[in-house]
Amino acid sequence: MNSPLLLARHRSRGLSLIELMVSLTIGLAVLGGVLAMLTNSMRANAQTVSAIRLNQEMRAAMDLLVRDVRRAGYRKGSSATIGSGLSVENTVRILDNGGRIEFQYDADDDGVLSAATESYGFRLVGGALQYTRNALDTTPDWQPLTDPNVTTITALSFCYWPSLSTQCLTQVPPDAKVTLTGTTQASVYAVRITMSSQIRNDATSSRRLTETIRVRNDRFDK
């Protein structure tokens, strides 16, 4: 019969080396799984934040473009001064094979369009959306509206999109003209803007946004 001392020693015996190694292996496997889940969760959260930020940046830039282009051609009293040629001067000009847009509107409501302060433009340079308020001046002052070190705009294009046309054009097509009375015609068309961008150095975050703007101040010809 075993003595009480031997039984106590048997009950207090520690883990063997094999049992310890098995326990450590199971513990490491569980820890590795937890760390992997945590890493994946953090990566997914970072991607979600980047996508939200990219969408906000694109939406803000596009909204600015839409609001400004929609005002193209406005001039106080222009409807009452229709003469030969254009009554609403140079409503929208799409240049550089669709890469730049220029337009004018009467911002100070004085009935006069100034090339120095009321000729506007947007373009893409170095991954940044640029804007100017003197596009028709001899030395336009282009200013960046977005930061390419945060959000890189990879593509920006403009084109005319008349309701009677099936393709995007950089010249106002003949079928955009609608006869009003006699020989007076209006160029009725929209402008389509397409913008692509991504988080800097992250091509997987690329997004594309398209807007079609009805230019309300139609261009008149007599």
Question: 137 with 173: CB under 8 angstroms?
Answer: no
Residue located via tokens 């101040």: 217
Q: What is the pLDDT of residue 48?
A: 72
Q: What is the pLDDT of residue 3?
A: 57
- 49-77 burial, b if ≥16 CB within 10 A, otherwise e? ebeeebeebbeebbeebeebbbbbbbbee
Q: Please write the tens of the pLDDT for every residue from 123-167.
A: 999 999 999 999 988 889 999 999 888 889 999 999 887 755 666
Question: Of the spans 13-17, 131-135, 163-167, 169-173, which averages the highest pLDDT?
Answer: 131-135
Q: What is the pLDDT of residue 84?
A: 39
**What CA–CA distances, in Å, run from 20 to 8, 34, 38, 125?**
22, 21, 27, 63
Measured CA to CA, the distance from residue 71 to residue 216 in angstroms comes to: 7
Q: Please write the tens of the pLDDT for every residue from 18-61.
A: 777 777 888 788 888 888 887 777 777 766 777 788 888 889 99
Phi, psi of 149 (to 5 degrees): -75, -10
Measured CA to CA, the distance from residue 208 to residue 199 in angstroms comes to: 12
Closest C-alpha among 29, 65, 19, 42 to residue 213? 65
Question: Which of the two residues, 140 and 10, has the higher pLDDT score?
Answer: 140
Measured CA to CA, the distance from residue 198 to residue 181 in angstroms comes to: 49
Average pLDDT, the chain: 78
Measured CA to CA, the distance from residue 30 to residue 41 in angstroms comes to: 17
Question: Which of the two residues, 118 and 46, has the higher pLDDT score?
Answer: 118
Q: What is the pLDDT of residue 121?
A: 94
Domains of the chain, residue spans = 49-221
